[in-house]
């Protein structure tokens, strides 16, 4: 646990909205309390075994219908590892560490206090889950705004995703065709490499199921069915087809775009309405985050809006 304390919030402007828990006296209490409980668990339990009461849920409780949709949307967009339905991948195309880096980068770039602190925590938990060392995590999160000057710290996919996030969070018209080409090429290499661990097993299962069905239809004996299954699964190519990878790459880019959309918008809302961190968050940060990361967050939080006049590029 670090001795460095996250910066105090007492001097921040008062929150523009009340951030109360679901009101049990209201007629929609069962619905809103259920949504709040889902939020407390969903936005923590993917990485942490304890519920995490949060102001994001209390903010969204003002519009329960939006909150209900936001829960599923955000959970899928942020937390999903490669996820499948009926044999088809439906989410988790971009790796989790890259997603957390993009979220934190946008937060740092736009000085979005709530997102900076919370996704430093989620980023650290994700890093632990992925096997990243504390030293590497500290280096990546402390140097995000200068990522281009530290190519040794970030993977090729992380670097290209952060270039995309830079344009998306400032002026998308600065994003060039050459950058987009580099993004696609980099994600193509990454997804081709990850294919065997994340998707090939499902193709082998499908091939085996089809072979078994064919054997049963032909009234084959058990040994012949086993031979069919073995031949079918062995025939699944070691490398995916170009068409398959192209579909995955396009999905990863759309996932990245929606991630940038979500957190560019949230940074505006949370900063504009002065949504504060929860009272317990400083203790959580001290228990999880390296000194270097807390120091960097303190610096950015103290700057507030100073120097953000050039956030949007003008031609």
Instruction: Name 2's Cβ contacts closer than 8 Å, sequence gap at least 6.
Output: 286, 289, 290, 291, 294
Using pLDDT thresholds of 50, 70 and 90, give the confidence band for residue 315.
very low
Q: How far is CA 193 from CA 63, 92, 238, 240, in A?
A: 42, 15, 11, 10
Percent of the chain with pLDDT over 70: 97
Using pLDDT thresholds of 50, 70 and 90, give the confidence band for residue 145.
very high
Residue 163's pLDDT is: 97
Stronger pLDDT, 150 or 239, i.e. the higher one: 150
CA–CA gap between residue 149 and residue 7 (Å, rounded): 27
Residue 57's pLDDT is: 94
Mean pLDDT, range 63-70, rounded to an integer: 93
Q: What angle do CA 176, 182, 186 make, to 5 degrees?
A: 150
CA–CA gap between residue 59 and residue 274 (Å, rounded): 11
- Sign of the four-CA dihedral 107, 54, 94, 267: negative
Mean pLDDT, range 66-93, rounded to an integer: 90
pTM: 0.89
Mean pLDDT, range 264-290, rounded to an integer: 94
Using pLDDT thresholds of 50, 70 and 90, give the confidence band for residue 310.
low
């Amino acid at each position: 646990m670090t001795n460095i304390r996250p910066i105090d919030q007492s001097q921040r402007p008062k929150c523009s909205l009340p951030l109360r828990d679901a009101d049990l006296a209201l007629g929609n209490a069962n619905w809103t309390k259920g949504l709040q409980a889902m939020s407390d668990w969903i936005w923590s339990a993917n990485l942490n075994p304890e519920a995490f009461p949060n102001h994001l849920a209390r903010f969204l409780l003002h519009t329960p219908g939006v909150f209900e949709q936001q829960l599923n949307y955000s959970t899928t967009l942020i937390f999903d590892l490669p996820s499948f339905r009926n044999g088809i991948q439906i989410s988790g195309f971009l790796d989790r560490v890259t997603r957390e880096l993009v979220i934190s980068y946008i937060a740092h770039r736009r000085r979005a206090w709530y997102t900076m602190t919370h996704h430093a925590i989620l980023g650290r938990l994700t890093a632990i889950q992925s096997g990243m060392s504390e030293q590497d995590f500290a280096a990546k999160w402390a140097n995000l705004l200068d990522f281009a000057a530290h190519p040794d710290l970030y993977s090729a996919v992380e670097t290209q995703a952060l270039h995309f996030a830079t344009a998306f969070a400032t002026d998308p018209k600065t994003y060039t065709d050459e950058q987009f080409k580099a993004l696609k090429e980099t994600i193509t290499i990454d997804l081709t490499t990850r294919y065997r661990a994340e998707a090939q097993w499902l193709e082998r299962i499908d091939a085996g199921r089809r072979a078994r069905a064919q054997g049963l239809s032909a009234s084959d004996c058990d040994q012949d069915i086993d031979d069919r299954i073995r031949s079918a699964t062995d025939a699944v190519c070691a490398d995916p087809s170009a068409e398959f990878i192209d579909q995955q790459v396009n999905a990863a880019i759309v996932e990245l775009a929606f991630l940038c959309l979500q957190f560019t918008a949230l940074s505006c809302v949370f900063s504009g309405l002065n949504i504060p961190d929860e009272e317990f968050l400083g203790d959580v940060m001290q228990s999880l985050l390296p000194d270097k990361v807390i120091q960097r967050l303190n610096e950015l939080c103290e700057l507030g809006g100073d120097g953000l006049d050039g956030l949007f590029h003008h031609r």
